[in-house]
């Protein structure tokens, strides 16, 4: 039982040190903020959301915050398109690989 407690303590300390290292070595620094608007391709839904230009380590990139609270990195710096795909048209942008009834390499007869 003592060995289990010691191993658990070592694992817990290792995990805590790893998290602290990653947090202190790569903090996110906000360079500038703004707003963007996205319109659905499938309906009249329009959403406005905050954006931010951040620096993390050696990288600088744009992020957009969806209304449900998550920050997403803007794809190719295109924040309105990222907002539209991740939030506005989320259900429509996740299409199946093939249409129902079509021939797929995974279901063809051999």
**For residue 55, pLDDT beyond 80:** yes
Confidence bin at 108 (pLDDT 50/70/90): very low
Question: Could you tell me if residue 5 is inside a domain?
Answer: no
State the chain's maximal CA–CA distance in angstroms.
63
Instruction: Give the Å distances, CA to CA, from 108 to 96, 97, 98, 100.
Output: 17, 15, 13, 13
**For residue 7, pLDDT beyond 50:** yes
Contact in structure between 50 and 7 (CB atoms under 8 Å): no
pLDDT of residue 101: 53
User: Can you read off the two tokens belonging to residue 14?
Assistant: 């290792």
**For residue 33, pLDDT beyond 50:** yes
Q: State which residues form the domain around 82.
A: 27-93
**For residue 103, pLDDT beyond 70:** no
Number of domains present in the structure of the chain: 1
């Amino acid at each position: 039982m003592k060995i289990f407690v010691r191993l658990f303590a070592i694992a817990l300390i290792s995990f805590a040190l790893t998290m602290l290292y990653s947090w202190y070595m790569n903090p996110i620094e906000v360079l500038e903020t703004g707003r963007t608007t996205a319109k659905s391709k499938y309906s009249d839904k329009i959403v406005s959301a905050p954006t931010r230009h951040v620096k993390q380590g050696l990288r600088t990139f744009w992020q957009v915050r969806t209304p449900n609270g998550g920050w997403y990195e803007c794809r190719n710096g295109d924040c309105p398109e990222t907002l539209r795909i991740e939030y506005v048209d989320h259900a429509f942008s996740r299409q199946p690989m093939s249409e129902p009834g079509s021939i797929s390499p995974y279901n063809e007869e051999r």
